[in-house]
Structure 1
């Protein structure tokens, strides 16, 4: 045994076991997040349940999806007002997603298993995903056009007719979005430019004859735009009216019949009637929409594409800012600065900056970048827009700059360590061959230290992509009206506010009015954030490895 310990084998097994345990914990956590999050998009069966309580006049009917079940003491159920016999010690209760929040006032509710009849899964139960008020559960009655019944639920092709008319409604909504995001958006931007031009005439000293001609031009162009807007507005109103043509009549669990306009519907499914092939297709469709659509219902419905786009854009802008500054600072400290007391103080300060809480950087970014620099830029270049700020308000550029300041110590330290690992013999050999110090640095030393620089960038990306606290102060919002990159000149709008996956998780998890509906989206968004960070890191690691092999072969 002593010989075994002296051989060092126990420590090898200990380290291997620790690594294995860590990997199990990491993959277990990721698996839990993936199952809890992405499992939400699977089209679950919808149950039809009757509850016969002893003192009730009639059975209570429920239609909904099972969310989860738990066993609780009977005393807890009695304290909450449930009728449980004294002979019962433990009871099972189920959390059901009932939907129909606009009809019943509640989306989720707990029910005891005690008085439930066997659950049924009729094929004629529809799940309707709406633009507002969440899901609707019920049984179809009829399909109406302008108030007249055109099909009843008894018809064999009823579901197909519903799908055809919903596709028509969705196509009309696509046309509406094209008009609102295209021609109307262009008109609004042009009107805003004309307003600023007119205000600029009042601010600047312009000769009266020039100002008068400019005002006439602005008035004529504004009138033309208003006339164009009137024509488009009529077309838009006609499209909105056409979305209200078709109506689906549904019967809910309490027997009432409710009419739902197809223009308010995103999707209608009958999960109990789906085959084993239809459900995976539906799952992929819903997951894809989650990744590519915009959020709805206070971020508890819809997709997260603006948050993904904002996160990626911010990380790229941050990387462009932090990389040259961090590398140049490290090169100066290592290669040019005199190694003395002041240099040691600077290094200690850089190391300490890496441990400063991120919210401190957010406060600094808000005060210095947004209010001081942004306010100064507005006074010099956007005077006509004041008092409405352009750069004197949180936005993409200030968020990226704040994160660049946050991750700057990481890049400096990593780059400086890479420079220090290069043997002095390489420097001496280059100088002996007649190269200057500058040529030795930029043509020999820096290329060999490139993998270390990429390591610093990888660590910076991983740190920046998951930060939330500073971003809440310098540019990230709950819902951004437009993306920071689009087809409008100058194409990249650094002054716009953005959405971010980290803040989206915080907002959905802690600020949502519907906690149960938001819970799976928190897991799904967290999984997307983890995948995004992994993809960004793997890309940077691949580049680093290629550079390492390139310069290793060159040095050989």
Structure 2
């Protein structure tokens, strides 16, 4: 009886339902767990951790005072520590505590991080006056504020020095913003204008049309730009002098006093004296800086806005390029091509293209798009720029085109499946009412298949946004000094190199000279990449659902 009931249960398919449900649940739990791990490791980096100070004494050596943030703590076997040469008593307990301290002050200690043995660190305290100074270069600096100076003269010390220090930081930050605006926007516009005049002059020379009148007009424009540049150069020089005017004296944990120029200071804070509300305000300010600012310190400090902008811009261009080609190819294969052996071979080839390693597409893009197509464009339309390449070098356009070729099979397959699901009666009804075949396709078939097209586009965006290998060959770089979209003609610079979140993760994680400082940024950038891909996909899903509801009545 039990055997019969068990056989009936198996035949009903319930075991497979439970098995599939369990597999899906495990996959969801693992995905959420991975995202939670990335979020905790990445977002925790921006929290203003307390700074400890204590006496550290290695047995047999003089004691010294250390200050820094505790980044990591772990239990390590005594025998393993003894094997490294440390004077560890192996007859004690089985484990000892090892802590990773972010000690900063790189110009003094030589490294930002230092491993210490917890049992050898005594008299641990958290002084409220101990501050962290975040700098534009050389990482954090930890110490006690002694005084604030203006042009070498002390203007504040003691209790009033901290408030004066904060005021001077605000002033320096404002000056830095003005300097950046002058350098990137105003002087950048003039440099672009001078380069445009240089290319125009060379083009007229090559065409034999550089007469006295044309030369005079060019010289007048160049003189006007030069005069404007001299004014901006004078303003920039004044701003730099003001920027370097102030300095502070900081006392390090070992008693030494160091003078720091305030032009290198981004912010200063005392985490041990901050309330929970102040820490939350600081935390969200750092998060905003991370998504809105430019990177600095070999991409281990500052923000990653250029990488976000480059990723989104490249994916949008890819979507604009791949959609019409994929739809046209699918419409031809399904609606016009004679269904025979050749068509079946083409479909098999398209499906196989989806499995080609992405680096192969990168090599193809470099060889065909950059060297052949880009070199031809340079010879035909930009001879005045030679020997410097314009489109004959990796850039935004070629990166987008390479991704479009990479994701084209996905769009073709999804669109063709959508076309196949449309009932034949719909086509015949349209033709019976007098519409031509092209009118039937344009007004009836393609709109009804648009949800399937959006599905293909969603899959294409999801794959393209996370690709790294081909982009390293066709346009993505470690650091791009300016965005491909600005106020200089032609405004969208398709020949310019860009940053990308995926490549940024690779660079920070595996090419950074400061591994410990870069590690949390790898998690934070990975989380941001997932968020960007999710937002792009949700936007496409919303449009697909809207189209599906719009044409649901026709589908039935």
TM-score (norm 1): 0.96
Once residues 555 and 354 of structure 2 are traced to their aligned partners in structure 1, the CA distance between those partners, rounded to angstroms, is 33
Matched ranges for 1:393-542 at <5 A: 393-542=393-542
Once residues 426 and 446 of structure 2 are traced to their aligned partners in structure 1, the CA distance between those partners, rounded to angstroms, is 12
In the alignment, what sits opposite 1:70? 74
Do structure 1's residue 212 and structure 2's residue 215 form an aligned pair? no
SS at match of 2:137: coil
- Check conservation: 2:192, 2:488, Cα contact below 8 A: no
In the alignment, what sits opposite 1:202? 205
How many positions carry a matched residue from both structures? Answer: 550
Do structure 1's residue 125 and structure 2's residue 133 form an aligned pair? no
Once residues 32 and 90 of structure 1 are traced to their aligned partners in structure 2, the CA distance between those partners, rounded to angstroms, is 27
Counterpart pick for 1:147 among 152, 167, 172: 152
Counterpart pick for 2:53 among 48, 62, 85: 48
Do structure 1's residue 353 and structure 2's residue 347 form an aligned pair? no
In the alignment, what sits opposite 1:135? 140
Once residues 325 and 21 of structure 1 are traced to their aligned partners in structure 2, the CA distance between those partners, rounded to angstroms, is 38
In the alignment, what sits opposite 1:374? 374
The CA deviation at 1:180 is 0.9
In the alignment, what sits opposite 1:324? 324
Matched ranges for 1:203-242 at <5 A: 203-206=206-209, 211-242=211-242
Matched ranges for 1:235-314 at <5 A: 235-314=235-314
In the alignment, what sits opposite 1:79? 83
Moved more, 393-402 or 174-183: 174-183
In the alignment, what sits opposite 1:174? 177
Do structure 1's residue 21 and structure 2's residue 26 form an aligned pair? yes
Do structure 1's residue 546 and structure 2's residue 546 form an aligned pair? yes
Spell out, residue by residue over 1:354-384, the C-alpha distance to the aligned partner (whole angstroms, 9 max, x if none).
1111111111111110111111111111111
Spell out, residue by residue over 1:207-239, the C-alpha distance to the aligned partner (whole angstroms, 9 max, x if none).
xxx523333333343344333322322221111
Once residues 151 and 438 of structure 1 are traced to their aligned partners in structure 2, the CA distance between those partners, rounded to angstroms, is 80
The CA deviation at 1:546 is 0.7
The CA deviation at 1:19 is 1.3
SS at match of 1:486: coil
SS at match of 1:277: helix
- Check conservation: 2:422, 2:555, Cα contact below 8 A: no
TM-score (norm 2): 0.96
- Check conservation: 2:475, 2:497, Cα contact below 8 A: yes
SS at match of 1:70: strand
The CA deviation at 1:427 is 2.1
Moved more, 197-206 or 64-73: 197-206
In the alignment, what sits opposite 1:334? 334
Give the aligned CA root-mean-square deviation in angstroms.
1.4
Once residues 203 and 437 of structure 1 are traced to their aligned partners in structure 2, the CA distance between those partners, rounded to angstroms, is 51
The CA deviation at 1:509 is 0.5
Once residues 54 and 399 of structure 1 are traced to their aligned partners in structure 2, the CA distance between those partners, rounded to angstroms, is 58
Spell out, residue by residue over 1:461-515, the C-alpha distance to the aligned partner (whole angstroms, 9 max, x if none).
0010000000000000111111111122222111111100000000000100000
Which 5+ residue runs of structure 2 have no aligned equivalent? none
Once residues 401 and 88 of structure 2 are traced to their aligned partners in structure 1, the CA distance between those partners, rounded to angstroms, is 61
Counterpart pick for 2:187 among 174, 177, 184: 184
Once residues 544 and 7 of structure 1 are traced to their aligned partners in structure 2, the CA distance between those partners, rounded to angstroms, is 36
Once residues 507 and 412 of structure 2 are traced to their aligned partners in structure 1, the CA distance between those partners, rounded to angstroms, is 33
In the alignment, what sits opposite 2:65? 61
Moved more, 263-272 or 218-227: 218-227
Moved more, 73-82 or 134-143: 73-82
Once residues 202 and 12 of structure 2 are traced to their aligned partners in structure 1, the CA distance between those partners, rounded to angstroms, is 84
Once residues 443 and 528 of structure 1 are traced to their aligned partners in structure 2, the CA distance between those partners, rounded to angstroms, is 40
The CA deviation at 1:94 is 0.3
Once residues 81 and 533 of structure 1 are traced to their aligned partners in structure 2, the CA distance between those partners, rounded to angstroms, is 48
The CA deviation at 1:554 is 4.2
Once residues 9 and 336 of structure 1 are traced to their aligned partners in structure 2, the CA distance between those partners, rounded to angstroms, is 44
SS at match of 2:122: coil
Once residues 547 and 217 of structure 2 are traced to their aligned partners in structure 1, the CA distance between those partners, rounded to angstroms, is 58
Provide closer, same or farther for how the CA distance between residues 193 and 439 of structure 1 changes in structure 2, counting only shifts above 3 A: closer
Spell out, residue by residue over 1:178-202, the C-alpha distance to the aligned partner (whole angstroms, 9 max, x if none).
1112221122112212222332343
The CA deviation at 1:282 is 0.3
- Check conservation: 2:448, 2:554, Cα contact below 8 A: no
Once residues 427 and 196 of structure 1 are traced to their aligned partners in structure 2, the CA distance between those partners, rounded to angstroms, is 55
Counterpart pick for 1:39 among 26, 40, 44: 44
Once residues 228 and 114 of structure 1 are traced to their aligned partners in structure 2, the CA distance between those partners, rounded to angstroms, is 64
- Check conservation: 2:480, 2:497, Cα contact below 8 A: yes
In the alignment, what sits opposite 1:164? 167
Once residues 446 and 232 of structure 1 are traced to their aligned partners in structure 2, the CA distance between those partners, rounded to angstroms, is 56
The CA deviation at 1:555 is 4.6
The CA deviation at 1:245 is 1.4
The CA deviation at 1:344 is 1.0
Once residues 476 and 368 of structure 2 are traced to their aligned partners in structure 1, the CA distance between those partners, rounded to angstroms, is 17
